Amino acid sequence: MKITINGEPHEIEQGLSIFDLAATLELAPDKIAIERNRSIVPRSTFAETRLCDGDHIEIVCFVGGG
């Protein structure tokens, strides 16, 4: 199915959880925050939160800034 991650279209398989997605992307869950369709996904619910077709996902982390 199709989802959008950080503005880019991605093709992923059915039934993936946010946790799975992070794993696929090789992202350490404790270093990121995730928004799904404009609402924040608490880290505690990464595993149980399943992705749906057309989801808009934002994955952010801290970078250097003034």
Partner 1 sequence: MVDEPLVIAGQVFSSRLIIGTGKYETYEQNARAAEAAGAEIVTVAVRRVNLTDKDKPLLVDYLDPKNYVYLPNTAGCFTADDAIRTLRLAREAGGWDLVKLEVLSDQKTLYPDMAETLRATELLVEDGFKVMVYCSDDPVYARRLEDAGCVAIMPLGSLIGSGLGVQNPVNIRLIVEQSDVPVIVDAGVGTASDAAVAMELGCDGVLMNTAIAEAGNPILMASAMKHAVIAGREAYLAGRMAKKRYADPSSPLAGLI
User: Is 47 a residue that touches partner 1 (CB under 8 A)?
Assistant: no
Among 2, 40, 45, 50, binds partner 1 (CB under 8 A): 40
DSSP secondary structure letter of residue 50: B
> Which of 4, 12, 16, 35 is close enough to bind partner 1 by CB under 8 A?
35
Note whether 26 binds partner 1 by CB under 8 A.
Answer: yes
Contact predicate 45/24, CB 8 Å? no
Number of Cβ within 10 Å of residue 4's Cβ equals 14
Q: How many Å separate Cα 29 from the centre of its chain?
A: 10
- Binding footprint of partner 1 on the chain (CB under 8 A): 5-8, 25-27, 31-35, 38, 40, 42-43, 58-66
